[in-house]
Amino acid sequence: MGYARTIVFDLDGTLVDTAPDLISALNHVLEREGLAPLPLATARNMIGAGARRLLERGLEAEGRLVGPEEMNRLTADFIDYYAENIAVASRPFDGLEAALDALADRGCQFAVCTNKLEWLSRRLLDQLGLSARFAAICGADTFGVQKPDPAILRQTIARAGGEIGAAIMVGDAGTDVGAARRAGVPVIGVSFGYTDVPIAELKPDRLIDHMVDLPAAVDALRPLTGSQLIT
């Protein structure tokens, strides 16, 4: 039996433009703490390392440092609010579903590897009608490690029933490039995501500016061969 090509996606800033709802949740917590809300354009590049780190960055931007217990409380408040408002304005990036259709027609399967909590990831993808497209949806709590630790990527590929030698990572930030490099998986960067370091500077194997370009980038990295077809 051969293996399908497994395309593993980051979630926030790669599959879905989640910034509006994430920053809304951040500002909900900041305003409850008597702090000014952050503009979306300022805060969007704080996304990518999980809820706690986003909140830490938001508080740091306001000059507020808090202890571990208070941070636990604020993070719980953030997650509670975000879970109830997870898909108010979040939408798949333009061209995503057409790209997935084209790749599926070529024998690819898909997985999600994110630093978002798994249950939040599933809730988001459920509400957007995307969950059924993915053979595995794995988050920061699924295996107890986060990107750029390569273990989360390797285990996501395994859970999807794929193999490292037929996999590609697609992401928007250094955590994605780092996890892919350490796992020995080629990586496609997207230029429209959330990162404080431009993705081009991280030198992914391919860089795309729109999801319409994803199938060609996949084919350039992992040409479809007989051994990669499920038989």
Q: Answer yes or no: is pLDDT of 57 > 50.
A: yes
What percent of the chain shows pLDDT beyond 90? 85
Q: Answer yes or no: is pLDDT of 196 > 60.
A: yes
Mean predicted lDDT score pLDDT of the chain: 93
Lowest mean pLDDT among 76-85, 209-218, 222-231: 222-231
**Which domains, and CATH codes, for the chain?**
6-17+90-228 (3.40.50.1000), 19-84 (1.10.150.240)
pLDDT tens digits, residue range 184-193? Answer: 999 999 999 9
How far CA 135 is from CA of 88, 112, 130, 138, 158, in Å, comes to 25, 8, 11, 10, 10
Q: Name the pTM for this structure.
A: 0.92
pLDDT tens digits, residue range 80-139? Answer: 999 999 999 999 999 999 999 999 999 999 999 999 999 999 999 999 999 999 999 999
Active-site positions? Answer: 10
| pLDDT tier, 226 (very low <50, low <70, confident <90, very high otherwise) | very low
Q: In b/e form, how buried is each residue of 174-190, taking b as 16+ CB within 10 angstroms?
A: bbbbbbbbebebbbbbb
User: How far apart are alpha carbons 137 and 159 in whole angstroms?
Assistant: 9
The predicted pLDDT at position 230 comes to: 39
Task: Please compute the mean of the pLDDT values over residues 42-64 and round it to a whole number.
Answer: 88
User: How far apart are alpha carbons 108 and 168 in whole angstroms?
Assistant: 10
Lowest mean pLDDT among 60-64, 119-123, 141-145, 186-190: 60-64
